Structure 1
Amino acid sequence: MIERKVIQEMVGDYDLSAAKIGVVGSHSALDTCDGAVEEGLRTLAVCQNGRDSPYSRYFKAFRDANGGIVRGMVDEVMLLPKFNDIMKQENMKRLQDDSVLFVPNRSFTSYVSMDAVENDFMVPLVGSRNLLRSEDRGGPRDYYWLLDKAGLPAPRKITDPKDINSLSIIKLHHAKKKLERGFFTAASYQEYREKSEALIKQGVIERENLEGARMEEYVIGPVFNLDFFYSPLEKEGEKVELIGVDWRFESSLDGHVRIPAAQQLTLNEAQKVPEYTVCGHNSATLRESLLENAFELAEKYVAAAKEYFSPGIIGPFCLQTCVDKDLKFFIYDVAPRIGGGTNVHMNVGHAYGNSLWRKNMSTGRRLAMEVRRALEEKRVAEIVT
């Protein structure tokens, strides 16, 4: 792991009057960049050739003679043959020379190896570098381990498929879509065997991945992604903020639930088992009686992260939850960085963030506001790792 003091010393050599927000051009980059320009900061998106047009063309920033934003939100694009070319020395040097403060998203930690992120990426990250690996299921200190240490509720784990006796979900990677999910459900060992064999035959999952899959009881209820923010700079107000709530559109799962049951029964073998590929998000709110419980989840997670992954959470994080019939939360996934659904709140904000800050407040803007405050108060070293 790159020592934090090395990164803090690097920031000390930056021209912070010209600091830019950098991000991999994917995932939640538009929210990150939109929030940055709203807070008066310049932006840079690292893009892969052939996947750059949203950033280099359609949301390209145009500014007036005084530098004010007129249209778009992406000031510059670093166009690379592959995303992981960001690890080349000349590209990291360019980011350093441009005084870039880099915001890690899931695309960054997917296209660049976690070892490289931790040990070789010599650019200041706004957030917690040492927490990013916890997102990889199955590691010795993954987010399930941290949830257990924090005493937080998670779906019941199943260690042997023969023990499946209620609706359960099996989580593993897709065989062909390497960054997507090969999830499936089963309510019995027989169903598990039948579905897994069918999916292996269809090329959706691989047998070797199946053996290390996470299996857990399926929580029947609505899904809420709780988009929180933790500010190490705040002195007067609460350090934990609920910026927004979102939920997912998943293909082809959402297509299945729109089909009447009689038609579902006529689907062929390749169509029967839905896929859980996230393709969009929508906004949501919680009934107010659940808000206290939601904040309690966040406070416990922040405390455990600080204890086991010092300095702990910095900035945005997302607790992905289900709520059961008794209105109890279960955390089934954790993003220790900006969440994947925050684009739904960009520019317009969310009911919670807007009400708290009395202006349109998305996660991207809240992140940029923290950076701007750190710049103004000369405390950038406190928000980078």
Structure 2
Amino acid sequence: MIDRKEIIEIIEDYDTDKLKIGAVASHSALDIFDGAVEEDFRTLAVCQEGREKTYTDYFKSQRDASGQITRGIVDESVCLKKFNEVIRPENQQRLVDDNVLFIPNRSFTSYCGIDDVENKFKVPLVGSRNMLRSEERGLEKDYYWLLEKAGLPFPERIEDPQDIDELVMVKLPHAVKKLERGFFTAGTYEEYQEKSQSLLKQGVITEEALKEARIERYIIGPVFNLDMFYSPIESEMNKLELLGVDWRFETSLDGHVRLPAPQQMNLAEHQLTPEYTVCGHNSATLRESLLEEAFRLCEKYVEAAKKYYDPGIIGPFCLQTCVDKDLNYYIYDVAPRVGGGTNVHMSVGHPYGNTLWRKPMSTGRRLAYEVRRAIETDQLDRIIT
């Protein structure tokens, strides 16, 4: 792990009047860039050839003679053959020379590799560098480990598929779509065998991944992704903020639920088992009586993060939850960085963030605002790793 002191030494040479906000151009980058320009920062997108035009063309910024933004959100872009080339020393140096503060999103860690992010990427990150690895499900100290340490609720794990006695979710990676899910559900051991063999035959999953799969009891209820923010530099108000709530559109699951039951039962074998690839998001709110418990869960997560991952969570994080019929939360995934659904809040904000800050406040803007406040109070070293 890169020593935080080394990053602080790098930031000491930055010109804070010329800071830029950078990110890998994927995942939630549009929200990050939109929030940055709202707080008067210039932006830099690290793009990959073949998927760059969203950022270099369609959302490219235009500024007037005084430098004020008039259109778009991406001021500059670096186009690489592959995202992971940003790890190369010469590309890192360009970012440092440009006074870039880098915002980690899931694409950054997925495409660039968590080992290189921890040990080679010597560009200041706004957020918790040492917590990004906890998102890698199946590692010794993954987010399930942290949830257990914090005493937080998550779906019960089934160690042996032969013990399946009610609906479960089988979590494993997709064999072809390397960064996507090969999840499936089963209500009995027989159904588990039938579905897994079918998916193996189709090449959707592998034997190796199936052996390492996590099986957990399925929580029947709506999904709420809690888009949170923790500010280590806040001195007067609560450091924890609820900025928004989102939920997912998943293919091909959402296509399945639009079909009448008789048609679902008569699908071809390769269509029968839905896939859970996230392809979009929508916004939501919670009934007010559920908010208190949401805050309590997030407070416990923050405290555990401080204890086991010093200095703990910095900035945005997301607890992905299901709420059951008795209105109990279960946390089934955790993002210790910008959540994947925050684009739904960009520009317009979200009812919770807007209500708290009395202006449109998305996750991206809250991040940029934290940087602005850190500069003004000479506390930039407290929000970077």
Length-normalised TM-score, structure 2: 1.00
Matched, 1:132 2:171: no
User: Following the alignment from structure 1 to structure 2, what is the Cα–Cα distance between the partners of residues 12 and 357?
Assistant: 30
Q: Deviations over 1:166-199 (max 9, x none)?
A: 0000011100000100000001111001100000
Partner of 2:308: 308
User: Following the alignment from structure 1 to structure 2, what is the Cα–Cα distance between the partners of residues 27 and 219?
Assistant: 26
- 1:82-97 → structure 2 map (5 Å cutoff): 82-97=82-97
User: Following the alignment from structure 2 to structure 1, what is the Cα–Cα distance between the partners of residues 158 and 61?
Assistant: 49
Matched, 1:270 2:255: no
User: Following the alignment from structure 2 to structure 1, what is the Cα–Cα distance between the partners of residues 45 and 171?
Assistant: 31
Matched, 1:109 2:109: yes
Q: Per the alignment, in what secondary structure is the counterpart of residue 141 of structure 1?
A: coil
Matched, 1:208 2:208: yes
| Letter matched to residue 208 of structure 2 | E
Partner of 1:337: 337
- 1:300-379 → structure 2 map (5 Å cutoff): 300-379=300-379
Partner of 2:147: 147
Q: Deviations over 1:332-379 (max 9, x none)?
A: 000000000000000000000000000001000000000111111121
Length-normalised TM-score, structure 1: 1.00
User: Following the alignment from structure 1 to structure 2, what is the Cα–Cα distance between the partners of residues 47 and 206?
Assistant: 31
Q: Deviations over 1:23-82 (max 9, x none)?
A: 000000000000000000010010000100110000001011111010000111110000
Q: Percent identity?
A: 69
Q: Per the alignment, in what secondary structure is the counterpart of residue 327 of structure 1?
A: coil
| Letter matched to residue 358 of structure 1 | R
Superposed displacement of residue 266, structure 1: 1.1
What stretches of structure 1 move > 4 A for 4+ residues in a row? none
- 1:23-62 → structure 2 map (5 Å cutoff): 23-62=23-62
User: Following the alignment from structure 2 to structure 1, what is the Cα–Cα distance between the partners of residues 80 and 246?
Assistant: 31
| Letter matched to residue 325 of structure 2 | K
Partner of 2:74: 74
Superposed displacement of residue 317, structure 1: 0.1
Q: Deviations over 1:192-233 (max 9, x none)?
A: 011000001001111100100111000000000000000011
Q: Per the alignment, in what secondary structure is the counterpart of residue 21 of structure 1?
A: strand
Superposed displacement of residue 296, structure 1: 0.3
Q: Per the alignment, in what secondary structure is the counterpart of residue 43 of structure 1?
A: strand
User: Following the alignment from structure 1 to structure 2, what is the Cα–Cα distance between the partners of residues 159 and 224?
Assistant: 26
Partner of 1:384: 384
| Letter matched to residue 222 of structure 2 | P
Partner of 1:22: 22
Superposed displacement of residue 152, structure 1: 0.2
Partner of 2:164: 164
Q: Per the alignment, in what secondary structure is the counterpart of residue 157 of structure 2?
A: coil
Superposed displacement of residue 96, structure 1: 0.5
Between the two proteins, the alignment pairs up a number of residues equal to 385
User: Following the alignment from structure 2 to structure 1, what is the Cα–Cα distance between the partners of residues 175 and 243?
Assistant: 35
Q: Per the alignment, in what secondary structure is the counterpart of residue 297 of structure 1?
A: helix
User: Following the alignment from structure 1 to structure 2, what is the Cα–Cα distance between the partners of residues 82 and 265?
Assistant: 42
| Letter matched to residue 237 of structure 2 | G
Superposed CA RMSD in Å reads 0.5
| Letter matched to residue 3 of structure 1 | D
Superposed displacement of residue 15, structure 1: 1.2
Superposed displacement of residue 129, structure 1: 0.3
User: Following the alignment from structure 1 to structure 2, what is the Cα–Cα distance between the partners of residues 163 and 8?
Assistant: 51
